[in-house]
A and B are shown apart, each in its own frame.
Chain A
Amino acid sequence: MARRKNGVLIKGLILAPYLILLYLLQSTVFTHLPLFGTKPLLLPVAAAGIAFFCGRVEGGVFGLFAGMLMDLSYNQLTVQFTLLMTFLGILIGLMSDTVLVQGFPSYLLSCALELALVSAYQVLSLWVLGNAPVPLSAAVGLRQTLYSLIFSLPLYYLSRFYFRVTRSGRNI
Chain B
Amino acid sequence: MKDLISKKVIRIGVAAVLVALLAAVTVALSGGSAGFASMLSEPFFKPLKSALTSLVGSLEHVYDYMYRFDEMEAENAELKKRVAQLEQDYREYTEISEENGRLRSLLGFVERHEEMTLEPATVISWTASNFSSSFTASKGSDAGIALYDPVVDEYGNLVGQVTSVSGASCVVSTVIDTTLSLGAQMYENGEAGVAGGDFALMKEGNLKLSYISNTTNLVIGNTVITSGSGGVYPAGLVIGTVTGIAVGSSGLDPYAIVAPACRIDGLTHVYVITDFAVSE
Contact = CB atoms under 8 A, between A and B. Distances in A.
A66 B10 CA distance: 18
Interface in A70-90: 70-79, 82-83, 86-87, 90
Contact of B12 (A37, A64, A98): A64
Nearest to B57: A32
A75 B53 contact: no
Contact of A60 (B13, B24, B34): B13
Contacts of A150: none
Which of B128, B130, B131, B134 has the most A CB atoms < 10 Å from its CB? B128
A100 interface: no
Interface residues of B, number: 46
A38 interface: yes
A163 interface: no
A31 B128 contact: yes
Contacts, number: 143
B6 A172 contact: yes
B59 to A, nearest CB: 9
A87 B5 CA distance: 12
Nearest to A123: B131
Contact of B4 (A64, A82, A83, A97): A97
B9 A133 contact: no
Nearest to A31: B126
Given A68-B37, A79-B20, A82-B20, A28 B132 contact: no
Interface stretch (A105-113, A136-144, A151-159): A136-144
Contact of A57 (B6, B45, B52, B125): B6
B49 interface: yes
B38 A72 contact: yes
B181 to A, nearest CB: 11
- The binding surface of chain A is classed by DSSP as helix
Interface residues of A, number: 52
B69 to A, nearest CB: 21
A10 interface: no
Nearest to A77: B35
A101 to B, nearest CB: 18
Contacts of B200: 132-133, 136
Given A24-B52, A140-B130, A132 B199 contact: yes
B15 A73 contact: no
Contact of B9 (A29, A57, A71): A57
A-B pairs, top 10 by smallest CB distance, nearest first, are: A132-B199, A60-B12, A86-B16, A131-B178, A28-B52, A73-B128, A77-B35, A31-B126, A75-B171, A79-B23
Interface of B: 4, 6, 8-9, 12-13, 15-17, 19-20, 23-24, 27, 32, 34-35, 37-38, 41, 45, 48-49, 52-53, 56, 60, 125-132, 134-136, 164, 171, 178-179, 197, 199-200, 203
Interface of A: 23-24, 26-32, 37-39, 41, 56-57, 60-61, 64, 67-68, 70-79, 82-83, 86-87, 90, 94, 97-98, 122, 125-126, 129, 131-133, 136-137, 140-141, 143-144, 172
15 contacts: A24-B48, A24-B49, A32-B56, A38-B130, A39-B130, A64-B16, A75-B129, A75-B136, A77-B35, A77-B38, A79-B20, A86-B13, A87-B16, A90-B9, A133-B199
